[in-house]
Structure formats: structure tokens, C-alpha cells
Amino acid sequence: MHFFQTDKTTQLLPQYKQFLEEHLYPIELDVLNKPFRQSLPKLQALRAKAKANGLLNPHLTKADGGVGLTLVEFAQVSELLGTSPLGHYTFNCQAPDIGNMELLHEFASLELKEKYLKPLMQGDIRSCFAMTEPEFAGSNPVHLGTTAVKQGNNYVINGHKWFTSSADGAAFTVVMAVTDASSKNPYERASMIIVPLPHEGVELVRNIPVMGDVGEDYFSHAELKFTNCIVPITNRVGEEGKGFALAQARLGPGRIHHCMRWIGICERAFDLLCKRAATRELTEHNMLGHQQVIQHWIAECRANITAARLMVLHTAHAMEAQGAKAVKEEISTIKFFVANVLMNVLDKAIQVHGALGITDDTLLSFWYRHERAARIYDGPDEVHKSALAKHILKQYGLKF
């Protein structure tokens, strides 16, 4: 990783690591095993401490109250924060807020920035992103049933969304809705519109149970219904009909963030795996780590994690230099590759822990439940693999 280190990361990474080890690792299981809202005062206090130490908002410029890191520098910080389920939240760079910050910063009007972006960057509010719908395939974002019809100076929104993560307690949502169903270009039918929460015409139907965990607040995946929900046209982000293009602009850097967070999870799970292998006695003087199969798992996990990290940092570097459009194939590659490395490392760590691995006495079961979706959201493995393969085959003259 030294190829990508800078003076900033050399200085800051040890500070983030120390903060995590002193303040977050000791409280993780306590926070995760009780209602999240009970821990909010404690986490807000830690946010204040992070801000006082100059560590809050590593993704934002200094002018916006952040640390001022580049995408490659932030990627390395993001890996460290990913080692704790509380890391990104504590430093105010968690999904979906970080994606919404990037979206509003680049495309929102000054009025929307003042009303929604500023308090979001300050960590005073949370947000969510409503795109996926239960009636349509989430892997096809141009096929939406939610509509926003103009009525005077307003949009009237009707539709059904789900997996609107963190909607429970959010102050606003960015809604993808069809504003021009007659457009001949399917990529120019939808727009992005901000809807404050709570708001008349918006129903939080439920927090969707994920592998038995309903979740609440930050750790939630809501189902929402919009019924004659009225908001001003001025709440639109960017130009009308540009929702798909904005979504792609939002998702590009977002996949870098996700992949580096997953690598952080891998490193923490790998550490737990190795500690267990080195200390768990099978028979007298015979540890788990003496078993060849365990040794092979450790070697394979180490190689895959290191390869994944270098692959993502290379993509982040290329994205900074050439823009997101120039690295579409690299983005597809890291998305499915790192997600599978993540699930393999977690699976091996659980197996080495035996029955303990499936309890909530470690972080492993939490991550296994919550991160299985990594192979689905932001484009399932199969979509990214097909996109990459088609790009390669076109170079050999095959037409699609």
C-alpha cells in the first residue's frame, strides 16, 4: 500500500487507528446488541471528539469542514474505519449520507445546499436514498414505477420504494422518480427529487427484516410508500430527466467507498481468525493453527485481501486521474471481486470460531448477516461480470 501513501495518510492513519482502538472497538458489541438509539448520545460525543481531533469528515474539503483528502487518501482511511461497524458513522462518512453529500455538493442548487447539504455535512442530520422498488428489478434502474407529475410549481409523487437504507430517523430522502415517461431515451425519463422526512404523503411502512434482524435508525432498510406526496419543483437535484446520469455519478465513487470498507471488515475478520487459530487448543499442545487446512485458509485469505486492496486503490487512482466513465470496467471488476473476497473471509473466520462464530459474542455474525448483500446492491455480481465480459469480447469483434 506504500505506493499510494502520502504525507497526509502517513500522519493521519495512525491517528484514526488509535481512535478506533481506544474508543470504538471496546463498545461495539454493546452498541450492536441493544437498540441503536440508546447509544446515540455516546456516539455523538465521540463525533465531537473526532471533530476536535481534526478527524471528522475525511471525505470533505477543509472549506466544507472536512479533512481534505483525495479519493485515494480517503480510500485508505475508509478501510480503517471499516474495521468497526461504528467507524464510518462516527466520522460522518457513512452510506448513504456520503453519497448524498457528493450528489448535492455537485448538482444541487444553492438553496438546497443550504437547507440540506450543510446540516448533513455538519453531522446534524441523516439522509437516505430511495431508488429500489419491490415491483421492479433493482439491477435495472431505468425501469421505475414511481412517478413525479408536475402540478403548478410542485411535483406530485406516487410510488413504492424499499431498501431505502437508514430512512428510519432520516431528515430527508432523495427520490428517483419518472418525470417524463414519454421520453424516447429510457435514460432520460427519471429525475432526483428531495423529499423532507417526515412529510405528508410519505409512509414508512416498515423496517425490512434482514436475516432475522429488523434493525432501526442507522442500521435499517425501510420500505416507503409515496401517495400524492407534494414537494416544490425547486427540490429537484440537477436537471429534469438526468436522474440516471446523477445516479451513475453517485455510484462510481460509492463503489470505491464500499470496497475499501469491505477490505477493512476483511482485515478485522482475518485478525480474529488468526488469533483464534493460534490460541484455540484442540488437544494438548495441538492448536487449530497446526492444522494444514487452517493454514491454507489463512494463506489464501491473506493473498486475496492484499490483491483486493491493490486493485481498489489502483481503480481509485485511475478514477481521480481520468474520471469515473474511464474506469467503468475496473469498477465492475472490484465490485464483484471484493464482495466475494469479503464473504469468503467472513465464512472462513466463522468456521474457525466454530459455534462461537455464529453467536453475537463476536462481530462475525453481524457482518455475515449485513454484508451478504454486498454481492447484490449497487449491481449484483452477475450484472458486473457480464458488463466486464462484454467489454472484453467487443475488443475481439463480438457484437451485442
In a domain? residue 176: yes
Total domains in the chain come to 3
In a domain? residue 112: no
What phi-psi label fits residue 228: left (phi over 0), alpha (psi between -120 and 50 degrees) or beta?
A: left
3-state class (DSSP) for residue 85:
coil
pLDDT of residue 383: 93
Q: Which tens digits make up the pLDDT trace of 151-174?
A: 999 999 999 999 999 999 999 999
Cβ atoms of residues 192 and 109 within 8 Å: no
In a domain? residue 116: no
Say whether both 232 and 299 belong to one domain: no
Say whether both 217 and 318 belong to one domain: no
Asked which of 180, 213, 240 is the last residue of a domain, the reply is 240
How much is the average pLDDT of 171-182?
A: 96
Say whether both 348 and 234 belong to one domain: no
Asked which of 52, 77, 94 is the last residue of a domain, the reply is 94
Q: Which tens digits make up the pLDDT trace of 14-41?
A: 999 999 999 999 999 999 999 999 999 9
Say whether both 228 and 252 belong to one domain: no
Q: Which residue has the higher pLDDT, 140 or 349?
A: 349
pLDDT of residue 284: 82
Cβ atoms of residues 93 and 57 within 8 Å: yes
What gap in Å lies between CA 325 and CA 98, rounded to an integer? Answer: 20
In a domain? residue 263: yes
Q: Is the pLDDT of residue 359 over 90?
A: yes
Domain that holds residue 87: 2-94
What gap in Å lies between CA 208 and CA 222, rounded to an integer? Answer: 6
Asked which of 186, 208, 240 is the last residue of a domain, the reply is 240
pLDDT of residue 1: 59
How much is the average pLDDT of 121-137?
A: 95
Please choose, from the candidates 234, 255, 246, the residue with its C-alpha nearest in 3D space to the C-alpha of residue 107. 246
Cβ atoms of residues 400 and 390 within 8 Å: yes
- pTM for this structure? 0.94
Say whether both 138 and 224 belong to one domain: yes
How much is the average pLDDT of 47-66?
A: 96
Q: Is the pLDDT of residue 191 over 80?
A: yes
Task: Give CA separation, 353 vs 281, 286, 356, 357, 358, in Å.
Answer: 12, 16, 5, 5, 8
Sign of CA dihedral 74, 332, 145, 207: negative
How much is the average pLDDT of 194-204?
A: 98
Residue 133 sits in a domain whose CATH number is: 2.40.110.10
Please choose, from the candidates 64, 60, 50, the residue with its C-alpha nearest in 3D space to the C-alpha of residue 15. 50
- What percent of the chain stands above pLDDT 90? 91
Residue type, 165: S
Say whether both 255 and 236 belong to one domain: no
DSSP string spanning 104-135?
Answer: HHHHS-HHHIIIIIHHHHTTS--EEEE---TT
Q: Mean pLDDT, the chain, as a whole number?
A: 95
